[in-house]
Amino acid sequence: MELDLRIGSSYTRSLTLNVGNIIKQRMQSDDKQILSYGSCQFPTLGFVVERYFRVRKFVPETFWSIKVMHKKDDINVSFRWARGHLFDRLVAVILFERCLTAKTARVTKMQTKPTSKWKPLPLTTVELQKCGSRFLRMDSQRVMQLAEQLYQKGWISYPRTETDQFDRAIDLRALIQKQTQGQTPWTAFAGGLLNGEFSNPRQGRSNDKAHPPIHPVNFVSPEILTAEEQRVHEFIVRRFLACCAKDAQGSKTDVSILYGPETFNTSGLIVLERNYLDVYPYDKWTSSQDLPNYREGDIFEPTEARIEDGKTSPPTYLTEPELIGLMDANGIGTDATMAEHIAKIKERQYVQTQVRGAALRRDDQDAESDFEDVAGRTAPPARGRGRGRGRGGRGGAQRGAPQNQGMQEFIPTTLGVALVEGYDNMGLETSLSKPFLRKEMELKMKAICEGRMTRREVVQESLDQYRDVYIRAQRQLPVLHAVRTRSS
């Protein structure tokens, strides 16, 4: 806390006095523009800006792939090329011609084996925030506010925890029993768990030794809760019940064929027992294409074979679950403060949010219009999503992934980009927009807990490190002014 206060206040004062006044003059406003700095806040902004530039600088590449179809027993089977795709058209065409020359394909593998989809791990704070954004379409700060309200009212356990394993001393069946009351959508499922369908929850890797995973502690009728509280409470209850259920079970069939010199694969899934999926609709696992009865050694002539071209797709702007995941992986903030850091960069107008795909629908001519037409797509990067044209067959349709109209994504503002670019252009040995300084500080604080360093040593070393960066940055403030002037 001492480090955050001393470092944050010094950098914030410098930014506000040296850059805030420029903004005030250019906007001809009397309002005070506070430009805050935090050792967690700036790396959080850095993640958003870094992805922004990846989108902006993306250059699509053309690729080619081979697609094989076979109709058997009135079932159309699509085989995927084992190579995926190639970026060399000539090589792809040569391999395609060799396939056509062979005329027939031979089944080299036919295997059916049981498979399962694991139930989710017990719920942590970070996972609650990520799932709240992904499934409930709420920002992480609002999810935590609602979880705090539910906790204070006595309906759920303490919502700030890193633990993803239940202690064996906790009577899980007693907690499940409470959810059999009333007429909720999960009442019958909870009853089934008590009648032989119970399975011990998975054990995660984290245990903060302070609080158990987030779970319901009492039954509450949904009518008592507000609409937003209902949604968060329902997710927590369903997650808990799913943890206590059995994994989903299925049967997977894999088929491989050799067509000329090339291998092609296909697979089919049949879901046999949904189990936890019946109470946890946030996971999707459904039966896929039916496969006819192939046997190893079978020889057949493909119904259709064609070569397709497509283009790699750009990365997408960061969503809140992705941003939280990056913060967690890089030690930026704690499970209790990540939402606050994200809210702060929005409050300071360093970033803004938009519904994913909104850039595709905009037709304005602002400074971002040159690249936002591709940035809003939701297809995964470099996966071969794109438009294909057939050769030797009927051709293919566009295969883009469906857009998620509700997911919010982060776009840095001109101010946010200018701050990150300005500090990066100073050529500092340790970038303020990267997570390294903060991560090193966190490791030092862990060393205090383990008795390898003292508090005084950590405070002094960290202050010396940040002081050196501060002095260097002060000497190069004209660089920051220049970037801000170009961006205005």
Residues classed as catalytic: 158
67: phi then psi, degrees, rounded to nearest 5: -120, 135
Q: How far apart are CA 76 and CA 79, in angstroms?
A: 10
- Helix (H) / strand (E) containing 425: helix 414-425
Parallel, antiparallel, or unpaired: how do β-strands 299-300 and 105-117 relate? antiparallel
Show the tokens assigned to 398: 């566009």
Q: Which residues contact 255 (CB under 8 A, 6 or more apart)?
A: 77, 79, 107, 109, 110, 111, 265, 266, 267, 291, 294
Helix (H, G, I), strand (E, B) or coil at 5: helix
Show the tokens assigned to 369: 């219009």
Q: Which residues contact 398 (CB under 8 A, 6 or more apart)?
A: 386, 387, 388
Please tell me the total number of residues recorded for the chain in this structure: 488
Distance of CA 387 to the CA centre of its chain: 26
319: phi then psi, degrees, rounded to nearest 5: -95, 170
Q: How far apart are CA 342 and CA 32, in angstroms?
A: 22
Dihedral (CA of 88, 94, 100, 105) sign: negative
- Give the burial string for 235-254 (b: 16+ CB within 10 Å, else e): bbbbbbbbbbbbbbebeebe
- Helix (H) / strand (E) containing 146: helix 140-152
Burial of 395 from C-beta contacts in 10 A (0-12 / 13-18 / 19+): exposed
Q: How far apart are CA 76 and CA 363, in angstroms?
A: 41
Q: Which residues contact 196 (CB under 8 A, 6 or more apart)?
A: none
Percent of the chain that is helix, strand, coil (3-state, to 5): 45, 15, 40
Look up tokens 């705090």; give the residue: 148
